[in-house]
Amino acid sequence: MWAAFDLSDALERSEIIANPTTIPVFLLLGVLLPVFLLNVKMVTAVRRDHLVIGLRLLWFQNRKIAFAEIRQCSIQPRISHEYAELMVKKYAVWAKLGVLIEMAEGDWVLVGSQRPQELLDAIRAGRGNPT
């Protein structure tokens, strides 16, 4: 309560705005942070020979999974893997369903999707077995 009162009191007297060291803080919090948060996007793309999963920030961080490395895949709810944090690497932001991919070396990857059936069909078509 006192901190809010002190801040509003200081703003009324223009002490904070007149201080040149606070200008970068206001610029960072008022401009750069919203631009950064609005630019975050989950990206999933199926290419000819691999699947690309990533998070686009101001740059693109991605993981490529070759179809040859995929042992099997199926549609699974994200909630069923909430407690298997150590076993499943998740790329599921807000999606309730996802495609669970079992890799040839035994790792599991859960890819969240708003349209999991389309993603599963595209992965299976890329692997050469549409069923």
Question: CA angle, 89 as apex, 85 and 91 as ends, to 5°?
Answer: 115
Residue reference for tokens 């079992």: 102
Q: Which domains does the chain have, with CATH numbers?
A: 2-38 (no CATH), 41-127 (2.30.29.30)
For residues 5 and 24, which has the higher predicted lDDT (pLDDT)? Answer: 24
| pLDDT exceeds 70 at position 5 | no
| pLDDT exceeds 80 at position 49 | yes
- Whether pTM exceeds 0.85: no
With bands split at pLDDT 50, 70 and 90, how would you rate the model's confidence at 25? Answer: confident
Query: In this structure, are residues 81 and 88 in contact, taking their beta carbons and an 8 Å threshold?
Result: yes
CA distances from 122 to 10, 56, 80, 107 (A): 58, 22, 23, 21
Residue reference for tokens 């549409």: 130
